[in-house]
């Protein structure tokens, strides 16, 4: 199906879902259709194929997301308590460190999520990635040593690894098959 046909179909479906095929609803539907086609360009055109979703893979990814969420909430709570206790001490031992963490993640989105996750946890801040995206630099306080800080970041990465698309499911162009 070509793009204009898909955009028109999306506009009509939008107007029918609203229950009123008025011109204003069709116009909004056209705008939404154009936005959807722009956001998901791989979904239309000659290279687009409909694949049957792999239920087991989807279930594994869903469980991995839930595990990540539970882990993050637990770690966020613990880190907040630790930083609050440091703030209440008259002379806290902050032990500021900058650590270099070798990474196993390769996906840009998951590298960004890793940086956001460790930055949201009190006591750590992602400073940046190396040019080859294989090393993360982070600032940490309140940890015993550099190995403990590194281990906490590697633990977060371990929860993100199951969410990465395995190389076997990539097409020759590098994108999802």
The reply to whether 20 falls in a domain is: yes
Residues 39 and 70 in one domain: no
Residues 20 and 61 in one domain: no
Unique residue bearing structure tokens 């116009």? 27
Residues 60 and 103 in one domain: yes
pLDDT given at position 42: 63
Residues 37 and 87 in one domain: no
Digit-coded pLDDT (tens) for 101-140: 999 999 888 999 999 999 888 889 999 999 999 999 999 9
What's the structural domain count of the chain?
2
Range of the domain at 12: 3-43
Digit-coded pLDDT (tens) for 56-89: 887 888 899 899 999 999 988 988 888 888 889 8
Residues 17 and 102 in one domain: no
Mean pLDDT of the region 96-100:
94
Residues 85 and 125 in one domain: yes
Q: Whose CA is closest to 68, among 26, 118, 142, 31?
A: 118
How far apart CA 105 and CA 151 sit, in angstroms, is 15
- Answer whether 0.85 is exceeded by the pTM: no
Digit-coded pLDDT (tens) for 129-177: 999 999 999 999 888 889 999 999 999 999 999 988 764 444 444 444 4
Residues 63 and 149 in one domain: yes
Residues 39 and 92 in one domain: no
Residues 106 and 135 in one domain: yes
Residues 39 and 60 in one domain: no
User: By the 8 A CB rule, do 137 and 98 touch?
Assistant: yes
User: By the 8 A CB rule, do 115 and 65 touch?
Assistant: no
Residues 99 and 127 in one domain: yes
How far apart CA 110 and CA 104 sit, in angstroms, is 11
The reply to whether 176 falls in a domain is: no
pLDDT band at 50 (very low <50, low <70, confident <90, very high): low
pLDDT band at 26 (very low <50, low <70, confident <90, very high): confident
User: CA-CA distances (angstroms) from residue 69 to 108, 156, 175?
Assistant: 19, 11, 26
How far apart CA 65 and CA 70 sit, in angstroms, is 9
Residues 61 and 140 in one domain: yes
Unique residue bearing structure tokens 């909004």? 28
Mean pLDDT of the region 12-23:
82
């Amino acid at each position: 199906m070509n793009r204009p046909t898909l955009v028109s179909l999306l506009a009509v479906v939008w107007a029918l879902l609203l229950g009123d095929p008025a011109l204003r609803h069709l116009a909004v539907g056209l705008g939404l259709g154009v936005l959807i086609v722009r956001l998901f360009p791989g979904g239309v055109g000659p290279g687009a194929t409909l694949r049957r979703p792999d239920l087991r893979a989807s279930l594994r990814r869903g469980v991995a997301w839930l595990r990540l969420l539970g882990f993050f909430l637990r770690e966020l709570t613990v880190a907040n308590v630790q930083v609050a206790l440091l703030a209440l001490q008259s002379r806290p031992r902050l032990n500021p460190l900058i650590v270099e963490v070798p990474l196993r993640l390769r996906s840009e989105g998951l590298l960004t999520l890793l940086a956001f996750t460790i930055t949201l946890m009190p006591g750590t801040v992602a400073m940046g990635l190396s040019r080859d995206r294989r090393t993360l630099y982070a600032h940490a306080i309140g940890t015993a040593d550099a190995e403990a800080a590194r281990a906490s970041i590697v633990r977060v990465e371990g929860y993100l690894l199951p969410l990465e698309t395995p190389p076997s499911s990539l097409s020759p162009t590098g994108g999802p098959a």
